[in-house]
Chain A
C-alpha cells in the first residue's frame, strides 16, 4: 500500500473513531433538549392543566382562578422565570389531554395511583389528603358504626375517575356506587335523599356538613383513607421529573407548601373571594 492509500485509511479510521464518541453524547443531549423543561424555557410559558376542585382550584368572583394549585403553579413558574397559563380541563379527559400535548404538567391535586402511573409519570408528593365521608341524617342517622354502610342496599356517590371511588370500593366493598362528573352533583344526590353518603377528598365533606347541618352529618371525624398528590408529566422525561421533584422537596423543607396548604385547607380567609353567602 503506498503512502496516500495509507493516509486515507488512517483518516477513515479516525473519522469512524470520532463519530462513535459524539453519538454517545448525542443521546444525552437529545434527551435533555427534548425535555419539557427546555420547551417551557423556550416558550416562556408554563402551561398547567387543572380541573375545578374546591379548594384546590376554583373561580373567584372576578372569574379568575384561585386556590392551592394556582399558588403552587405560579411559584413553580416564578422559580423557572416564566409565566403561567392555566388550561381548565374536564377531569375525565385530563390525562389524555396531557398525553395529547395540550399542556405541560397536571397540577390538579391528582392522587398517585399505580394505574395512573402506567400512563403518566408522577413526581414526589407535594400534598397529602385523604377521603372523608358525609352522610344524610334521615337515611343514615341511626347507623351505629361505619360497618353498617357496607351493605348493597346503601348507595354512596363519588366523582367519576377520581381515587374517591377506588377508596369507597376499598372501605365498603359491598356498597352500591353512583358516580357523577363533579362534586356538586354528588352532594346534591345525598341532599335529595337519593344516596346515603358522599365520599370525597378532605376538607369538602367537612365544609358541606357545616353548610347543611340539618341534613348532613359526618359518620367519622377521621379520614377514611390517605392519599398523596403529585404533579403528573408525560413519560420519558427524566429532566422534568428531577426538576419538579427537587422543587417540591425544596419547598417542603422551607415550609412554603405547608403554609399554603394550611391557608387553603384549614382556614376560611378565602371564603369571601368566592361568593357572598
Chain B
C-alpha cells in the first residue's frame, strides 16, 4: 500500500494577515538594528580592507588566487567533509559495539562515549592536542610522510588536505573533531538500532540470518532512515564546532579571520564575512540532508 505523501509537501503557501504582520515585524527589527549599528556604534566601515584577503591578483602568473580567508574557508570545508566522514565511520562502528552481545565491545564503546560526551569541547581539544597528539604524531611518523612525499603524492595531499606544509596541523584538527563528534554519532546510531522492533530481529533470525547479516540487510537500512534528522543536525553542528579548533592553532577559517582582524583592525567586516562563509557551508549541507530525507521518506514503508 503506497504511503501518504507528507502534508507539508502537498499544501500551497497561502498568505494571511499574520504572515504580513510577522514579515513587517522582522523587517522593522532588521532596519532598527542597522540604524543602531550605523549611528550608535561609532565604527568606520572599511570593507575594501578585507577584500584583498579574500582573493588577490598574482601579477607573476596573471591569475586571481585565493588569499588567507579563502584558504581558511577551504581548510574548514575539508575539515567538515573529512570530519563528517570519519565521525560517521567511528560512530557506526561504536554504535554497533554498543548494541553488541559480547561485553568487551559494549564496554569499550561505553567508555568512549562516557569520556568524550562528558568533556566540554574546548577541554577535550586542549587535552587531545597537548598530550595525545604530541605522542601520536611522532609514533605514526606523520611528519616524515610529508617530507618524503613524491610530487604526485604531494599534489594529492594538497587537494585533499590542504597545503602539505600544514598536513600534520590539519590531521590533528581532523582527529580531534572526528573523535569528539564520533561519540555523539555513536549514541544516535545506537538509538536508531534499538528503535527497530523486536519483530524484525526475530523474523530475520527465523529466516536463518546471522547477526552480521541481520544488521547489514535488515536493521541498519531501516535505522538509517530514522536517524537521518538527528544525524543531519549533528553534522551541521560539527561544521560549526570546527571553529573551536582554531584555539589549537589549526589554520582554518576562524584562525585566519582572527589574524586578518588583528592585522587590519577591520573587526566587524571580517567576522561578518566569516559568518556568511560558515552559512555558505552549513546551508547547502542542510539542503542536501533535507533532500536525502525526502528521498528516503518517499520510498515508503515504515
Contact = CB atoms under 8 A, between A and B. Distances in A.
Interface of A: 52-54, 58-59, 61-63, 85, 87-90, 92-93, 96-97, 100-102, 181-185, 187-188, 191-193, 208, 211-212, 215, 274-277
B48 A276 contact: yes
B45 to A, nearest CB: 12
B259 interface: yes
A184 B261 contact: yes
Interface stretch (B75-83, B152-160, B243-251, B291-299): B243-251
B67 A52 contact: no
A54 B262 CA distance: 7
A101 B67 contact: no
A62 B50 CA distance: 12
Question: Looking at chain B's contact residues, is the secondary structure mostly helix, strand, loop, or mixed?
Answer: helix
Interface of B: 41-44, 46, 48-50, 52-53, 56, 67-68, 71, 126, 129-131, 134, 165, 246-249, 251, 255, 258-268
B248 A93 contact: yes
Nearest to A61: B52
A63 B67 contact: yes
Given A97-B249, A215-B42, A275-B49, A63 B258 contact: no
A187 B263 CA distance: 13
A54 B248 contact: no
Contact of A188 (B44, B49, B52, B267): B267
Nearest to B68: A63
A275 to B, nearest CB: 4
Contacts of B49: 275-277
A102 B262 CA distance: 23
A191 B268 CA distance: 12
Contact of B267 (A62, A185, A211): A185
A96 B249 CA distance: 12
A63 B134 contact: no
Given A61-B53, A63-B56, A182 B258 contact: yes
Contacts of B248: 90, 93
Contacts of B265: 184, 187, 208, 211
Given A90-B247, A93-B249, A97-B249, A192 B42 contact: yes
Contacts of B48: 276
Given A58-B263, A62-B67, A276-B52, A52 B258 contact: yes
B262 A90 contact: no
Nearest to A55: B263
Contact of B263 (A100, A191, A275): A275
Given A59-B263, A88-B259, A93-B126, A102 B134 contact: yes
Contact of B262 (A62, A85, A183, A191): A183
B249 A191 contact: no
Given A90-B255, A93-B126, A184-B267, A58 B262 contact: yes
